[in-house]
Structure 1
Amino acid sequence: MIPSLEIKEFFTPGKTLDKAHVILHITEPNAPHERERGVLFALFELTRGTVGLIENCQKIIEYIEERYYSREEKSESVLEHILQAVNREYRTILSQYQTELSCVVGTINDGEIQLSYHGKPTAVVFFHHNNEIATLPVIEEENNAELFFSELISGTIGTRDFFYAATPHTLNYFPLDRIAKLVNDRPVREVANHIQKVLSEIGSDYSFGGLLTQILHIRPNSSKLAPEKIEHLGSEASLNHLANATHETAETLSPPLFGDVKKTLQKIKDSPSRFAHLRSGSSAKSDSTKDHVLIIIGRSMVMAIQSLARICVGIGRSIFNFFFWLYRLIKNRNSRLKEINQARLKLNNCRRTIVGLPTATKVIATSLLLIGLIFLSSLVYLRIYEYQTAAKTKIINLIQAIIDKKDAAEASLAYEDKAKAQILIDEAQALLNQLPNDSNTEKNKQGELNAILLSVRDKLRNEHRVTPELIANLSIVNGENHAEKLTLSDTTLIAFGSNDPSWYFINIATNAVEGKLHESMNGLIEASPTNEGDLIVFRSQTGELGVFDTKTQTLTKKNISFPANDAIISTMEIYNRKLYVIDSINKKIYRHNQTQNGYDQGALWSRSGESRLGGVVSMSIDGDLYALKDNGEVRKWYRGEEQAFNLAAVDPTMDSAEKISVPEDGDEIFILDNKKRRILVFDKNGVFREQIVSDSFKNPTGMTITNKGKTIFILDNGTVYRVSR
């Protein structure tokens, strides 16, 4: 990589490759004559592009690269001549292929940028202005010319400024103000990696590509920009001249491709001057001195290590001899005094030898010992530091991954892809749980990130907090009522329960409540009214059926039989005066016709998907039959055939449910989640809309819907509420 330039690309393929194909090409030269011409880049986006057009675009890129770095091409205006040749050679391609093409081709050499484009790609300069990152669009209007490249933009930018180019659809997820914030906070490589990671996690049909460049410093040996000129041309003038060489042409064969000036950029006032950093002539000498110092230090370290090794070997031998001497002392009891005297003699000899050493030798030996100790301490310190650095790096990477997934979730939310956003935010939460929280700082950071994720979850949850209207308090009528379920007939709500011998009639117009005994049939657990509202079918705990006549206000037991002798009703529903029953034992759906004494034996209605009929607790019919299972799962049948159907994920997860209601005259599905005290609302395609919650809900067990889903009645611990939407 050229030392004066830091460049990093990003590329994410789309799920549908034929929808938008992206070609990204960057050439970073190595040979001296190539380095003089800088970096060449090309970025193409072809919407619904054909194989032929893609191949031709690749040929154009190869052609431009080969000629640009050729020794035969003159340095002056080389890109202009090449693009002119491209227009002549490939002038008929755009009319031949019916596709949308956006591309940008350009060069970066120190602070000088030249580029030409077709369509409307994104090309922007980010620069420091009044302690902020300002944005200067290089391409501001779409180029719809018949030629590939009809205008050239050239100019210079200052040190530490950024150049950014990307395909058009990237703006949908990363607007320029967001890129500006990123380049202000992070290095180029991290910004590009962040963009690529977020775009890949979105999972769009489109492909994305682009590059980000920062000018680190201007090379002193550059033939493009002389130091004298740079010192008098700050970033104000550089930016103002960025597009001063915009040209256009109408000729097709031998056109003067870049003619008169077409565009100028408005001067940016109060912009601080930013000059190229030129190295002084003494830098080479300074580097040479540093090299000599490093060599001396290295040799000293090698000598210290060798001396330390000898000292360690000597210490090891001494330890071995000491233990061997102890062994002989213990084993040879008769010669212990002799051995001790010999040892004292050796110690005295060593002491005299050390004392007799020259002072210089003592200093050198002490210095080597200290160096050895310092070296060992350094090794231990470096090991501990390496471990701590790895731990910190892991935490930083985890935090960055959490932020990336949060950003991707927000981008998915912006395009109403809540299922994808839910997955991403769950993954971010799992990463958050891996963060350590031993110190107060770590706990605070974890709390901060958790708050950020919760803010996204709140958007996902789409909670609608309501204050329901109290319709009736059944405790006033019966202080020991055990009503759990609710049904509606015309303007009268009926509340009942399996352990309550009474049922309660509530007039929704006057809120009047009347309690009555239903002696003919006890243990009522489910009810389903006809569409006409003249009859309500009740089911008891024992499986008995009773029909309530709303005109005579009488409940009469009715007969019913099944094709299977061991059938047990798990739930039922009246639709078009036919009774649909789910048999939880045999996992079948039966349809029964009404008779004078009740309902006939019924016929098998379900023809597929019967294995998924276990655990059904409620069902509702609007033409399609929806079956709600005890784990919150909903399955759908039409004319006996199971349909492909799934509810969108919700947060918190729905792992249980009490009742489902699908009004025939509405476009929504309502599910009562008793455990989480909420009403979940989906459209009839299973797309999540909202969850209705209230501080008044304590133990909601009964629900009925009216007015096309605009009015919901809830039974909660003997209290009836009305929720208006």
Structure 2
Amino acid sequence: MKDLLEIHEFFVEGKDQERSHVLLHITEPGTPQEKAKGYFFAIVEINNGSLEQIEHLQQMIDDLESGYYETDDLENKSAFEITLEFINRRGHHILQYKNSVTSFLVGVLRNHELSLSYHGLPQAWLFYNENEEFKEMNILSEETIANGQLFSAILQGTLNDGDYFYLATPHISDYFTADRIKKILLTRNTRQSASHIQKVLKELNNDISFGGILFHHPDKMEMLASGQKAFVKEDGSVESLNKMVNLEQTTEEMLTPPLLGRTKKKWQIWWKNHQEEKEKKKLLKLQIKRRKEIDSTSHGTIETNFRLLKTKGNQGTWLDNFLVFFGKMLFNIFWQLWQFIKILIFFIGRNSIALILLLSNKDHKRAEVIKEWRRGYLQQKEKLENIPTFSKIILFVTVILFLIFVSSIFVYKIKQTWQAEKTAYANQVQAIIDKKNAADASLLYNDTNKALTLLLEAKNILNNLPNKNTNEKEQINTLGIALENSLNKLRKIYNPQSQLVTDLTIANPEAKTENLAIIDNFLIAYGKEDNKIYRTDLATKKTETKILADVFHPQNASTPKEQDTIVFINNNKSVAAYSKDSNNLLAEDISFPSENTQLSALCIYNRRLYTIDIANNQIYRHNFTQTGFDKGTNWLKTTDLNIKDANSLAIDGDVFVLKANGEIIKLINGIQTEFNISGLDPKLNNPKTIWTYNNVNNIYILEPTNKRIVMLDKTGKLLNQFSDPVWQNPTGMIVQEDKKLIYILDNNKIYQFNINL
């Protein structure tokens, strides 16, 4: 079984060739002398390089190619090594471009013997089988040492049957690791592997150019399985046997000349020459065919693909003449186009001036302008009539072709933009689907936080999707419904089907209640803009009103567990206490460590009153006295904590401060400790009330913005959300967790619902 060598290249041109430029070069030998020297290859990546440097590198590759094939091996030095030494002596200028980063690798594959040298950080990996295991080896494990030479060392080795030799520019390693290349080679043949790598790199749509080469010597099993024909080498044992047979035949003829031997010998010589001439013509046709295939492959201005080694006899082919003719034709077309544009500009300018004179009749030149236009029209008409018919046809065809050319450019740009938008839209839709599927998978493992994050990311992408046509709108609607269904599972929103307890407007049509308090079995509704308080008996559902003195404008309230009073904030500066006997408010003595106090929230815990002063960013702790409360002391110890937007306070031994931005601050002995809400969507938006206690399992938060009550455990994890469509603007909340009841004040109406889910 004879040798077969597979060589496949992959190449992707980047969008920014000034930033990144790649040169690929593979020389396929044509003559027997060239075949004896094997394949020459080179790969170059230039980043931020100038056109001059790129031309120097291309010339270096051409010099290496011609020098290698035209130089003979010496006894102790190969032609490849001699050529590299020559390039090192004359190629120092290539490294003098300070702002560019260049990596390149050159080498030859001669039968199974591999020789290469490199500069910078190109990629070169060997993939091979060892002990029934497919392994990889990095041939270039480190960057070359900067010693002023292009090529500082030569690496040599053997490419055995079944081995893969993989070359690539440095940036490909950002997307294809050696392990990924190995998996590709294990699941595809050589051509499919190169095509797959190129396809993936092209879909990146990157500014950077990429290139690489894949060599493979199939082993016998691969050749039998694929049915590939071997590449026949014209040297070795077969050639030696042929020489030996010819020698034996010549000797036999000298010893015993056959009848008509001379005639037979001449016939054999003629037949041999005829066959050789036939083989040469066949080889020439094959070379021409391959060159056509190569020239038909377009990669912009970057040289790539296989190239047959050009000899002096190949200069001046019909293809070269055609390219020269085509280039001249393009130049003439654009030159004529430029002349036409100049004439058009002059025509427009001249006639614009004439039009101004025609409209304004300046210096009485309107008649002169009309006369000049008429004379010009007649002259052009006469010229057109005198033009030969063939010239008219040429002019007409030229105008049509020009219009087609310009239109095709616009159509191409529009199509390119449309295709890019279509691809981006498809990628975004797929990203939404992928994130939703990943969220559903996370839910199976009860990882609700990750699932919520993925679904919110998908929803954000969905909100930014274009909806220019009906199909896009339908797809967005379908995806939105699917996301909302998944989000609702995580949000744990329930309709409690609340029941009306009482309508306070029956007792007072002008009621302006904002909050609720509870004492014994009575609900107390109040508002700072209302001069009354409303007491509702939960047993009878009857409501009594009590007119307040003008000095009282209650805002927030707290009831101790003893249920003996209710303490209100009054006018943001003082406090008042509710008397069960008189169903009225009484002023209480209180003072504060700081001046200009502005109270926003309070809470009674363990017979002490805690108040929040947003003007001085402090929490005070007050003791009860016979006439009210003492001066209080500063309780907050975390000095850099901002509570100036705090609007509610709850205590269960630890202190919970609710801020208007939705943040909950947990304090222990006046020092902030970590507390985060998890699993909640949407996030809190201007919540109003927080409530918990030491004998209560959960934390309850009232948020009027989204008309809901949020129930968390003491670690901040979402348990449930309650929202009823009948709620319009819920502003007050009382929780009786032991009775599984919650009371809501909404637009002067009090509702109750059961939380026993």
Specify the TM-score bucket, using the shorter chain as the normaliser. Answer: 0.5 to 0.7
- Identify which of 651, 658, 662 aligns with 2:692: 662
| SS at 1:303 equivalent | helix
Contact 2:507 2:544 in 1 (8 A): no
Instruction: Indicate yes or no: 2:442 matched with 1:389.
Output: no
> Could you tell me how far 1:591 is from its partner in structure 2?
0.7
Structure 2 partner of 1:722: 753
Residue identity matched to 2:544: K
Q: 1:283 to 1:482 in 2, by over 3 A?
A: farther
Residue identity matched to 1:505: T
Contact 2:524 2:533 in 1 (8 A): no
Once residues 317 and 163 of structure 1 are traced to their aligned partners in structure 2, the CA distance between those partners, rounded to angstroms, is 50
- Identify which of 714, 724, 744 aligns with 1:684: 714
> Could you tell me how far 1:351 is from its partner in structure 2?
6.7
Once residues 751 and 498 of structure 2 are traced to their aligned partners in structure 1, the CA distance between those partners, rounded to angstroms, is 9
Structure 2 partner of 1:632: 662
Contact 1:620 1:662 in 2 (8 A): yes
Once residues 340 and 192 of structure 1 are traced to their aligned partners in structure 2, the CA distance between those partners, rounded to angstroms, is 58
> Could you tell me how far 1:703 is from its partner in structure 2?
1.1
| SS at 1:594 equivalent | strand
Once residues 389 and 220 of structure 1 are traced to their aligned partners in structure 2, the CA distance between those partners, rounded to angstroms, is 37
Map Cα deviations across residues 546-573 of structure 1 (whole Å, 9 max, x no partner): 4446699786543222223432322110
Contact 1:496 1:504 in 2 (8 A): no
Instruction: Indicate yes or no: 2:597 matched with 1:597.
Output: no
Contact 2:534 2:545 in 1 (8 A): yes
Residue identity matched to 1:75: D
Structure 2 partner of 1:515: 543
> Could you tell me how far 1:580 is from its partner in structure 2?
0.5
Q: 1:2 to 1:439 in 2, by over 3 A?
A: farther
Q: 1:706 to 1:321 in 2, by over 3 A?
A: closer
Contact 1:626 1:635 in 2 (8 A): yes
1:457-496 alignment, distance < 5 Å: 457-458=487-488, 462-470=491-499, 472-475=501-504, 478=507, 480=509, 482-489=512-519, 492-496=522-526
Q: 1:455 to 1:190 in 2, by over 3 A?
A: farther
More helix per residue? 2
Contact 2:728 2:746 in 1 (8 A): yes
Structure 2 partner of 1:313: 339
| SS at 2:329 equivalent | helix
Map Cα deviations across residues 348-406 of structure 1 (whole Å, 9 max, x no partner): 99679744xxxxxx547734751453144223322342144225414532552464366
Once residues 588 and 534 of structure 2 are traced to their aligned partners in structure 1, the CA distance between those partners, rounded to angstroms, is 19
Q: 1:285 to 1:351 in 2, by over 3 A?
A: same
Contact 2:733 2:745 in 1 (8 A): yes
Map Cα deviations across residues 179-210 of structure 1 (whole Å, 9 max, x no partner): xxxx9xxx7569999xxxxxxxxxxxxxxxxx
Residue identity matched to 2:684: M
Contact 1:406 1:456 in 2 (8 A): no
Structure 2 partner of 1:180: none
Contact 2:524 2:535 in 1 (8 A): yes
> Could you tell me how far 1:465 is from its partner in structure 2?
1.9
Map Cα deviations across residues 658-716 of structure 1 (whole Å, 9 max, x no partner): 11113323453321111220112334344444432222322211112232695433222
* Root mean square deviation of aligned Cα: 5.8
Instruction: Indicate yes or no: 2:193 matched with 1:229.
Output: no
Once residues 373 and 200 of structure 2 are traced to their aligned partners in structure 1, the CA distance between those partners, rounded to angstroms, is 73
Contact 1:401 1:428 in 2 (8 A): no
1:242-257 alignment, distance < 5 Å: none
Instruction: Indicate yes or no: 2:404 matched with 1:377.
Output: yes
- Identify which of 483, 491, 503 aligns with 2:534: 503
| SS at 1:593 equivalent | strand
> Could you tell me how far 1:577 is from its partner in structure 2?
0.7
1:641-652 alignment, distance < 5 Å: 641-647=671-677, 650-652=680-682
Residue identity matched to 2:754: V
1:118-129 alignment, distance < 5 Å: none
Structure 2 residue ranges without an equivalent (≥5):
1-5, 13-104, 115-123, 129-134, 143-154, 166-176, 206-213, 229-284, 297-317, 355-362
Contact 1:713 1:721 in 2 (8 A): yes
Residue identity matched to 1:584: I
> Could you tell me how far 1:594 is from its partner in structure 2?
0.7
Which stretch of the first structure deviates more once superposed, 342-351 or 698-707? 342-351
Instruction: Indicate yes or no: 2:723 matched with 1:693.
Output: yes
Residue identity matched to 2:431: D
Q: 1:585 to 1:454 in 2, by over 3 A?
A: same
Once residues 400 and 482 of structure 2 are traced to their aligned partners in structure 1, the CA distance between those partners, rounded to angstroms, is 49
Once residues 633 and 514 of structure 1 are traced to their aligned partners in structure 2, the CA distance between those partners, rounded to angstroms, is 38
Q: 1:449 to 1:298 in 2, by over 3 A?
A: farther
Residue identity matched to 1:722: F
Contact 1:658 1:673 in 2 (8 A): yes
Contact 2:125 2:138 in 1 (8 A): no
Once residues 322 and 400 of structure 2 are traced to their aligned partners in structure 1, the CA distance between those partners, rounded to angstroms, is 20
Normalising by structure 1, we get a TM-score of 0.55
State the identity as a percent. 23
Max Rg structure:
2
Contact 1:636 1:643 in 2 (8 A): yes
Map Cα deviations across residues 134-178 of structure 1 (whole Å, 9 max, x no partner): xxxxxxxxxxxxxxxxxxxxxx889989999xxxxxxxxxxxxxx
Once residues 314 and 191 of structure 1 are traced to their aligned partners in structure 2, the CA distance between those partners, rounded to angstroms, is 41
Map Cα deviations across residues 265-308 of structure 1 (whole Å, 9 max, x no partner): xxxxxxxxxxxxxxxx9999598489599996995585266256
Once residues 407 and 108 of structure 1 are traced to their aligned partners in structure 2, the CA distance between those partners, rounded to angstroms, is 27
Which stretch of the first structure deviates more once superposed, 417-426 or 299-308? 417-426
| SS at 2:628 equivalent | coil
Once residues 504 and 341 of structure 1 are traced to their aligned partners in structure 2, the CA distance between those partners, rounded to angstroms, is 100
Contact 2:438 2:454 in 1 (8 A): no
Q: 1:353 to 1:700 in 2, by over 3 A?
A: closer
Contact 1:304 1:371 in 2 (8 A): no
1:188-587 alignment, distance < 5 Å: 222-223=218-219, 229-230=225-226, 285=289, 288=292, 299=325, 303=329, 306-307=332-333, 309-310=335-336, 313=339, 354-355=387-388, 363=390, 366-367=393-394, 370-371=397-398, 373-394=400-421, 396-397=423-424, 399-401=426-428, 403-404=430-431, 407-408=434-435, 411=438, 414=442, 432=462, 435-451=465-481, 453-455=483-485, 457-458=487-488, 462-470=491-499, 472-475=501-504, 478=507, 480=509, 482-489=512-519, 492-498=522-528, 499=530, 501-507=532-538, 511-518=539-546, 523-541=553-571, 543-548=573-578, 556-587=586-617
Once residues 476 and 346 of structure 1 are traced to their aligned partners in structure 2, the CA distance between those partners, rounded to angstroms, is 94
Map Cα deviations across residues 410-464 of structure 1 (whole Å, 9 max, x no partner): 646828777777676666656555554444344445445544554555455x141
Residue identity matched to 1:561: S
Residue identity matched to 2:563: G
| SS at 1:513 equivalent | coil
Residue identity matched to 1:503: Y
Contact 1:395 1:435 in 2 (8 A): no
Q: 1:295 to 1:600 in 2, by over 3 A?
A: farther
Normalising by structure 2, we get a TM-score of 0.53
| SS at 1:612 equivalent | coil
Q: How many residues align?
A: 517
Residue identity matched to 1:229: A
- Identify which of 627, 632, 645 aligns with 1:615: 645
1:13-28 alignment, distance < 5 Å: none
Once residues 5 and 224 of structure 1 are traced to their aligned partners in structure 2, the CA distance between those partners, rounded to angstroms, is 26
Residue identity matched to 2:752: Y
| SS at 1:373 equivalent | helix
Once residues 557 and 323 of structure 1 are traced to their aligned partners in structure 2, the CA distance between those partners, rounded to angstroms, is 90
Residue identity matched to 2:556: E
Contact 1:654 1:673 in 2 (8 A): yes
Contact 2:428 2:465 in 1 (8 A): no
Map Cα deviations across residues 111-150 of structure 1 (whole Å, 9 max, x no partner): 973xxxxxxxxxxx7xxxxxxxxxxxxxxxxxxxxxxxxx
